[in-house]
Structure 1
Amino acid sequence: MLPRDTARLRFRRMGPSDLDAMARLLGDPDVMQYYPAPKTREEVAAWIAWNDRNYAEHGYGLWIIETHTGDFIGDCGLTWQDVNGIRRLEVGYHVVPEWQRQGLATEAAAACRDFVAAELDVRELIAIIHPENQASEHVAIKIGMQRVEDDRTAGRSRRIVLSMTV
């Protein structure tokens, strides 16, 4: 199961052959500005394996997003997260710097939102965002989310939660 292609993007499963592209994405200090640190190549390999487990267990995870001609844009998709002791479905997205500020994260996140509404028995979709990450918050708001709470899960830095009913 995959979200439908959009006007500019297509989705596909992430796999080991994506290690180089994903390492460039998740190892980029600008992309990972609001994470504790950019990911190492080994951490990216674990990220890909985690998504493979998500595909096997749930039928979805974070997918590679690319143009219809195959240009790598980043990743976007759905993962289960613990927020304040409650398991909730999150839409997440990362876009390589040269493709940012073109509405592609919004386009991909909206396709994931529509996928949830059409294919899954889930009534809420969230985004978990660092409070200073205005670009990511803007994407969540554009697909219909609103800020609902702070994530105060032990051991995590402060994050805001945006939510919507699907």
Structure 2
Amino acid sequence: MIAATRFPPPTERLTFSQIVEGDLDDLAALLADPEVMRYYPRPKTREEARGWLEWNRGLYAERGFGLWTVRLTATGEYLGDCGLTPQLVEGVTEIEVGYHVRADRQGRGYATEAAAACRDHAREVLGVSRLIALIHPDNLPSQRVAEKIGLGFERTAVSRSGLPVRVHAARLRPAG
């Protein structure tokens, strides 16, 4: 683990940690689930999940943040991932809050709770002034999560994969 990497403190129900090699089986199952990945071009293979893990390890080293493993505090049960990643949107790099929750655990407020903790971490610890979420136009549950944490719809843009995305955004602190 990289000492400089900090993650949000535990919430009422959730704990966060770096994604590590020991999370690969859970992460691969999450990213291979057609229900979880229904708004992506396709589910990911195990090798692509390993790439996801490595991408986040690189973000931890370079930026001090990335997506984090999310677990239930009470049991340690793996729920998914949530965190902050740099995203290039129409030529501008912005910080995005992203979240994936196991299909069998969706609809219980975990994504909102985790995303709110990451929003607060972005503002209070990392000093991020603007936060976005890039969401498929048909992904109404994810849009509701973004709105619940204060990210309102701003515009439609084109993703790196060439697909339309809704940009939800909020200013977390005055521009400086």
Q: Is the 8 A contact 1:127 1:161 kept in 2?
A: yes
Do the aligned partners of residues 95 and 153 (structure 1) sit closer, same or farther apart at CA in structure 2, a change above 3 Å counting? closer
Paired residue secondary structure (2:162): coil
User: Match of 2:96?
Assistant: 90
d(CA) in 2 for partners of 1:114 and 1:154? Answer: 27
Offset at residue 152 of structure 1 (A): 2.4
| Structure 2 residue aligned with 1:59 | 64
Spell out the pairing of 1:113-152 with structure 2 (5 A cutoff).
113-152=119-158
**What stretches of structure 1 of length at least 5 have no aligned partner?**
none
Q: Please state if 1:101 is matched with 2:77.
A: no
Q: Separation in 1 of the partners of 2:114 and 2:143?
A: 14
Identify unmatched segments of 5+ residues in structure 2: 1-5
CA distance in structure 1 between the partners assigned to 2:41 and 2:13 by the alignment: 31
Residue 41 of structure 1 aligns with an amino acid whose one-letter code is R
TM score, norm. by length of structure 2: 0.92
Change (3 A) 1:95 1:144: same
* TM-score (ref. length: structure 1): 0.98
CA distance in 1, matches of 2:159, 2:39: 17
Alignment equivalent of 2:33, drawn from 11, 28, 33: 28
Task: List per-residue Cα deviations over 1:138-160 (Å, max 9, x = no partner).
Answer: 00000001010112256520111
152-161 vs 92-101, greater mean Cα deviation: 152-161
Runs of 4+ in structure 1 off by over 2 angstroms are 152-155
Identity of aligned residues (%): 48
Residue 31 of structure 2 aligns with an amino acid whose one-letter code is L
Aligned residues: 166
In structure 2, which of residues 144, 158, 164 is the aligned counterpart of residue 158 of structure 1?
164
Q: Is the 8 A contact 2:95 2:130 kept in 1?
A: yes
